[in-house]
Structure 1
Amino acid sequence: MAEDRWISESLFDDAGLRTSYRATRILHESKTEHQHLLLFESPHFGKVLMLDGATQVTSADEFIYHEMMSHVPILAHGRAQNILIVGGGDCGIAEEVLKHDTVQRLTLVEIDASVVAFAKDYFPEFTRPVLSDPRFELVIGDGLSFVEQTERRFDVVIVDSTDPHGPGEVLFSEAFYRGVRKCLNPGGIMVTQSGVPFLQPRVVQNSVKAFRTLFVDGGCYVAAIPTYTGGHLAMGWATDDIALRNVSVEELTQRYERAERFPTRYWTPQVHRAAFALPRYIDELIAQP
């Protein structure tokens, strides 16, 4: 039997940190038009997907990221019908979004068609329910161009980007956030993947600074995701309705019950509300000019 391969994540090389996974089997490895894609099996984390040396999703803990990126904005909004996802070609977030019967249309814009094709083969638990849902629309294209050019308007925009390098870099730009603002309905919400504040302080700091120049309320909420090394992951939050970050546990519970209480493994009304209570070091980080 071949020796197991150890695979290191290189995302935090600048911080002098690498984490390694023991790969018992390489399921797929290729160089697409936009990025290097690697999928392997890990004894504890199950299927692990890396893009350009950065962990994107594992089958063991994907539910945390996908639930918090989806259910927080949709249930905070309370009446979201039209949703846009930029990135997220694995369809993990789309699968969570479509659990909400109130969603009438979900559009996913993914720059790399290879990611979607790959997910069909290796993450059918995400793609099968999404691609068969008549509410779902897939657009292969550039996210910045889409938000700048579309005439459509959305209640929630979810930015499921890679880290700010390669094809994902533009999704952290003020030009992109300005485009998102243009295509949001009044009272709409944008959420973003904004990095690990302990190891990527400038990512969340720069994102929130841009939000606050464009929206009435800009900030972040957090979740603890084991494979995103370094503590909490920040999820950027931007809206012109400041009340939406303060929806009560009682109201969130009622909205969840109206949504027929689909099963969750991380999100609860209490966790939702608490996610906006930031550790002091993150609060101070995003308060800096």
Structure 2
Amino acid sequence: MINKKIWHETLHCHLGQYFLIDKILYQQKNKYHDIKIFDNSVMGRIMTIDNIVQTTEKDEFIYHEMLSHVPIFSHGLIKDVLIVGGGDGGILREVCKHKNINNITMVEIDISIINLCKKYFPTHSNNAYEDPRLELIIDNGLNFVKKTNKKFDLIISDSTDPIGPGKSLFISEFYLNCKKNLKKNGIFVAQNGVSFFQKNEIVSTYKNLKKYFYDASFYQAAIPTYYGGTMMFAWGSDNIELRLTNLEKLKSRIKKTKLIFNYYNPHIHISSFSLPQYIINTLDKS
């Protein structure tokens, strides 16, 4: 709900977070989403979709670095990448930093998200949409993975919560087709909500991933914007050794790229797969 000074998130019905609005920059409802963009003195510019915070200028780097670099450095030989969603451009920006990647396909259902973020969040994409390796496709993600004949080393699902159009990216059919479109030793990763308040979401994802991937798991990162605990990222691969890539190998791979990060590092990478016991217990029962 928005009034003159306060925006309140409605993801959870019995509790929430609020942001003071310095200035409303954009608000419009289209056939896919109810989109709002406003300035906040602490978190900078904020975009909400369907009354749920999607991204902020202040802490977006945590989410985008972890969803991108963890699978890329775990694999070590990523050449072809599919990004499903991610219209704000943050995942694309991070993926484009890897010069050894040959082809990047991005599928976004709502072109208005891309255009709005280019205007209001230019540092998210940082001109990554101009990268010649990118093929941008405006389509429903599930529809694309069902019909494409392309194969990828990495599929990143950067979706909204499983509400509205985002629902189709959390169902068994989507995971099945992502598996079909992965090369040998390919990796699938996806945002999977804040586990403390969204246990049903990780249980559902885990059950579905186990149908199609030998190694189904999660890793995590603490992201202030997504309140309620740690943000979970789903992981699926048929090669368990990729998730267990050791510290020295990670350090070597990172050093070769000469990349500089604000959150990600090899120690964070390894520790992110260490899940709290309540999550382990929940998954063991599923």
Q: TM-score range by the shorter chain?
A: over 0.9
Quick one: distance in 2 between partners of 1:212 and 1:47? 38
- C-alpha displacement of 1:33: 1.7
TM-score of the pair, normalised by structure 2: 0.97
What are the ranges of 5 or more consecutive residues in structure 2 without an aligned counterpart? none
Asked whether 1:288 is paired with 2:285, we answer yes
Quote the residue 1:184 is aligned against: 182
Quote the residue 1:87 is aligned against: 85
Asked whether 1:173 is paired with 2:171, we answer yes
Q: Secondary structure at the match of 2:194?
A: coil
Q: Secondary structure at the match of 2:18?
A: strand
- C-alpha displacement of 1:127: 3.1
**Cα displacement string for residues 40-89 of structure 1 (whole angstroms, at most 9, x for unaligned residues):** 11110001110001111000000000000000001001000100000001
2:59 maps to a residue whose letter is: D
What are the ranges of 5 or more consecutive residues in structure 1 without an aligned counterpart? none
2:65 maps to a residue whose letter is: E
- C-alpha displacement of 1:126: 2.7
Q: Secondary structure at the match of 1:33?
A: coil
- C-alpha displacement of 1:4: 5.5
Q: Equivalences for 1:216-255 in 2 at 5 Å? A: 216-255=214-253
Q: Of residues 107, 111, 114 in structure 2, which corresponds to 1:113?
A: 111
| Identity over aligned pairs, percent | 40
Quote the residue 2:34 is aligned against: 36
- C-alpha displacement of 1:12: 1.0
2:34 maps to a residue whose letter is: H
**Cα displacement string for residues 253-280 of structure 1 (whole angstroms, at most 9, x for unaligned residues):** 00001112x1111100000000001111
User: CA-atom RMSD, angstroms?
Assistant: 1.0
Native 8 Å contact 2:54 2:160 kept in 1: yes
Q: Equivalences for 1:118-157 in 2 at 5 Å? A: 118-157=116-155
Quote the residue 2:9 is aligned against: 9
Quick one: distance in 1 between partners of 2:131 and 2:233? 27
Native 8 Å contact 2:152 2:182 kept in 1: yes
Q: Equivalences for 1:259-278 in 2 at 5 Å? A: 259-260=257-258, 262-278=259-275
Quick one: distance in 1 between partners of 2:190 and 2:128? 21
Runs (4 or more) in structure 1 with deviation over 4 Å come to: none
Native 8 Å contact 1:4 1:24 kept in 2: no
- Number of aligned residues: 284
Quick one: distance in 2 between partners of 1:126 and 1:6? 25
Quote the residue 1:99 is aligned against: 97
Q: Equivalences for 1:11-30 in 2 at 5 Å? A: 11-13=11-13, 16-30=14-28
Quick one: distance in 2 between partners of 1:128 and 1:242? 34
Quote the residue 1:279 is aligned against: 276
Quick one: distance in 1 between partners of 2:149 and 2:108? 18
Quick one: distance in 2 between partners of 1:85 and 1:287? 30
| Residue range with higher mean Cα deviation, 194-203 or 115-124 | 115-124
Native 8 Å contact 1:36 1:51 kept in 2: yes
